[in-house]
Amino acid sequence: MARKVLLVNKFYYPRGGDCVVVLNTQALLRESGMEAEVFAMQFPQNLTAHYQEQFASEVNFGRGGMSNRFQALKRTLGMGDVVDRYEAVLDDFKPDVVHLHNIHSYLSPIVASLAHRRGIRVVWTLHDYKLLCPRYDCLRNGKPCEKCFGGAKRNVLTHKCMKGSLPASVVAWLEAIKWNRARLEEDTDVFVCPSEFMATKMKEGGFKADKVRVLNNFLDPVKLRQYQSMDSPREDYYCFVGRLSPEKGIEDLLDVASRLPYKLKVAGSGTLEPAMRIKYADKDNIEFLGMIDAEHVARLLSGARLSVAPSQWYENNPLSVVESLCAGTPVAGSNMGGIPELIDASNGIVFQPFDKETLANAITMSMTRDWDHKAIAQNALKRFSPATHLDTLIKDIYCI
């Protein structure tokens, strides 16, 4: 009989990196012969799923009246229909493993508790730092902050970390108190960290070392074959692929790019996109592509001489860097979070975040160097292969 895995994530469509990982993992498990179903929150963009009628009802923290916000608060604390609907899925599917992903707020860690009580193995892949930081991204005033690591979470109130709002910060504080480290550890068998950096921070935050494992993200089989078959000639440009928001360092990159003699192509959208398009409208060496699909991202990366990851927050195991390396494209990456552990002298350059001079030097050095693109791709495709990931996941994480 095939083993059964229930994947749990707040959304079930390619909304962000966490959702992409869930979709790729489900496909990988099914291709291996296992049964893999999903539990999520109901949402208009969700893909079709076997248990979609049993998904938890949609909650929204930003819209609606007091009644809607009260329902959202209840969900954060693990109350409401999420319990009955999730247990109905557990009753019917009877999973051997529950594999959690991004569950806070929209589903809540109650899903770990309910599975644990039934004796089901609970595995939790972490995509951000929510278990350490009530805000989730370890940022305060645009700079890294670790005040809540391993201790009281009241700093989220003191500094109004959630959007500068005291009410929103109170909700984040209540969530952190309700789902504290001791309870999360009791209900979870393994915390999977996609980077050594995150694993280190989890241990520094007091989580038991024997419950923390490192397993990098992988390139899904479709993209793997796509990059394996590509042999694009390198063109005279470098690129950025990602969200256009402050923590991604895009403002520093664009400022530096505007003064360099190289062509920059920017793929992605975000809160800063409108203002940045206007600010750099007269710069012929900066091209904004907006949101592009996966195929165009692959072509963009495969034709570039360099990609840049200028993040100014604790990136985990960014897919943009993984895909760039699989395309044979070196990366100029900031010395933040899990980025530097993906880069060595053969496939890129690490520079200091918040330092435009070192960023400019990294771009210039990379654009004027001859790289072994074929070797970069071969090494990355092996390191981030689905087969390697699946073998570790089943034997060492799921233990089935």
Beta-bridged to residue 143, according to DSSP, are 140
Largest CA distance in the chain: 63
Distances (CA, A) of 145 to 106, 352, 354: 24, 17, 15
Residues 123 and 192 both lie in one domain:
yes
Residues 93 and 115 both lie in one domain:
yes
Residues 25 and 70 both lie in one domain:
yes
| pLDDT tens-digit series, residues 110-132 | 999 999 999 999 999 999 999 99
Spatial contact of 315 and 336, defined as CB atoms under 8 Å apart: yes
Model pTM? 0.91
Residues 34 and 170 both lie in one domain:
yes
- Which range marks the domain in which residue 266 is found? 221-383
Residues 317 and 198 both lie in one domain:
no
| pLDDT tens-digit series, residues 213-238 | 999 999 888 888 888 888 778 999 99
Q: Is the pLDDT of residue 281 over 80?
A: yes
Which residues fall within 8 angstroms of residue 341, CB to CB, at 6 or more apart? 195, 196, 197
| Tokens (6 digits) for 325 | 């390396």
Residues 159 and 245 both lie in one domain:
no
Element (H, E) at 254: helix 250-257
Looking at residue 228, its pLDDT comes to 86
Residues 350 and 392 both lie in one domain:
no
Spatial contact of 255 and 223, defined as CB atoms under 8 Å apart: no
Q: Is the pLDDT of residue 347 over 80?
A: yes
Q: In residues, how long is the chain? A: 400
Per-residue confidence at 68, pLDDT binned at 50, 70, 90?
low
Closest among 320, 175, 174 to 253, alpha carbons compared: 320
- CATH code at position 183: 3.40.50.2000
Closest among 287, 124, 336 to 212, alpha carbons compared: 124
| pLDDT tens-digit series, residues 357-377 | 999 999 999 999 999 999 999
Which residues fall within 8 angstroms of residue 238, CB to CB, at 6 or more apart? 262, 263, 264, 265, 304, 305, 306, 307, 308, 332, 363, 366, 367
Residues 213 and 226 both lie in one domain:
no
Residues 101 and 121 both lie in one domain:
yes
Looking at residue 1, its pLDDT comes to 44
Residues 390 and 339 both lie in one domain:
no
Mean residue pLDDT of the chain comes to 93
Residues 290 and 367 both lie in one domain:
yes
